Amino acid sequence: MPTLSTTAIVDGTLWTLGAFSVITWGLILIKAIQHVRVAHFNRVFNKVFWRATDLHAASELSGYSGPAARVASAGFNTLRDADGGTTVHDLEHTGDRQELLDRRLRQQMQKERGALESGLSVLATIGSTAPFVGLFGTVWGIMHALQDISKSGSASLDVVAGPIGEALIATAIGIAVAVPAVIAYNFFLRRNKVIWAFLDNFATDFIHLALKTSFIIKRPSAKYVDDPGVATTHGKSTVAELHRDSVQAKGAHA
């Protein structure tokens, strides 16, 4: 029974390290794809945003994804809500337009930061605990090997080297699991700091641009004529078309 329990413990340690390795490489793959997409989306939106003629034109950009696009969207929505003269009076809407804009931008940035940091705590935990898990399996295996050696009554090298060498495999596997986790954690943590600095600079520039427009953004609302169901569309004025048709009709009757 002691032999069986010792074998089960060592095998359980190795299976645990194997699960740690699968989780580590899975997270590395997921985070790598995430960072590639984030970098691409931020680069595309940043280029389009700064090519806009003014902040009003930038507010009409749509169809873009990524942290920068969502931060800008939160800022534009905040300015439109403030311009709409909301009657809500609570702590969330306390302050002037600049304070409200700064608060909403920071809140969105924190959401983006949380999404980028998801999974990093798991990598940090695996990187710090995997060597000790492997060491635990090694110590337990050596205890079992020493018990077998004492029972055999021989302490020659050929008797000692085999069991102890097998026990040391757990420590080697633990280190092999921990190294990629630590490297990946440090790499993605550095990338997160770069993205966070970019979003922080983008939010600061956004506030400065909004300050130039007195924190007022035109609402993308349609213009109506006498019939509420008739509205203008992008690029063509329905009001002008109705006026033109009316003039043509009068000329025909004349």
Question: Tens digits of per-residue pLDDT, 160-204?
Answer: 666 677 778 889 999 999 999 999 999 999 999 999 999 999 999
- Tokens at residue 214, please? 């007195």
Residue 89 sits in the same domain as residue 210: yes
Cβ-based neighbour number of residue 50 at 10 Å:
10
Co-location of 69 and 161 in the same domain: yes
At 165 the pLDDT is: 76
- Residues 134, 244: one domain? no
Q: Reduce the DSSP state of residue 29 to 3 states and report it.
A: helix
Q: Do 171 and 234 belong to one domain?
A: no
Note whether 227 and 150 are same-domain residues: no
pLDDT of residue 251: 46
What is the predicted pLDDT for the residue at 236?
Answer: 41
Residue 199 contacts residue 70 (beta carbons within 8 Å):
no
Residue 159's pLDDT is: 62
Residues 44 and 59 in one domain: yes
Q: Categorize the per-residue pLDDT at 95 as very low, low, confident or very high, splitting at 50, 70 and 90.
A: low
Report which of residues 226 and 68 the model is more confident about.
68
Are 130 and 229 contained in the same domain? Answer: no
With bands split at pLDDT 50, 70 and 90, how would you rate the model's confidence at 239? very low
Residues 108 and 49 in one domain: yes
Structure tokens at 13: 């340690």
Residue with more model confidence, 146 or 40: 40
Helix, strand, or coil (residue 232)? coil
- Give yes or no: residues 243 and 172 share one domain: no
105 vs 65: CA distance, rounded Å: 16
- Statement to judge: residues 79 and 142 lie in one domain: yes
**What is the mean pLDDT of the segment spanning 37-44?**
95
Is the domain of 212 the same as that of 253? no
**pLDDT score recorded for residue 7:** 72
Q: Calculate the dihedral angle through the C-alpha atoms of 243, 249, 252, 253, rounding to the nearest 10 degrees.
A: -120
Contacts of 51 (CB under 8 A, 6+ apart): none
The count of domains in the chain is: 2
Which range marks the domain in which residue 188 is found? 2-221
Quick one: which of 131, 140, 132 has its CA closest to 166? 140
For the stretch 43-70, pLDDT in tens is: 999 999 999 988 888 988 888 999 999 9
pLDDT score recorded for residue 173: 93
Residue 85 has pLDDT above 70, yes or no: no
Fill in the amino acid letter for 234. H
For the record, the structure tokens of 71 come out as 């931060």
Same domain, 64 and 133: yes
Residue from 142, 136, 145 nearest 14 by CA: 136
Residues 94-104 have a mean pLDDT of 82
Kindly give, in sequence order, each residue whose CB lies less than 8 Å from that of residue 128, ignoring residues fewer than 6 positions away: 178, 182
**Other residues' Cβ atoms within 10 Å of the Cβ of residue 32:** 14
Tens-digit pLDDT profile for residues 105-159: 999 999 999 999 999 999 999 999 999 999 988 888 788 777 777 776 666 666 6
CA distance 217 to 97: 12
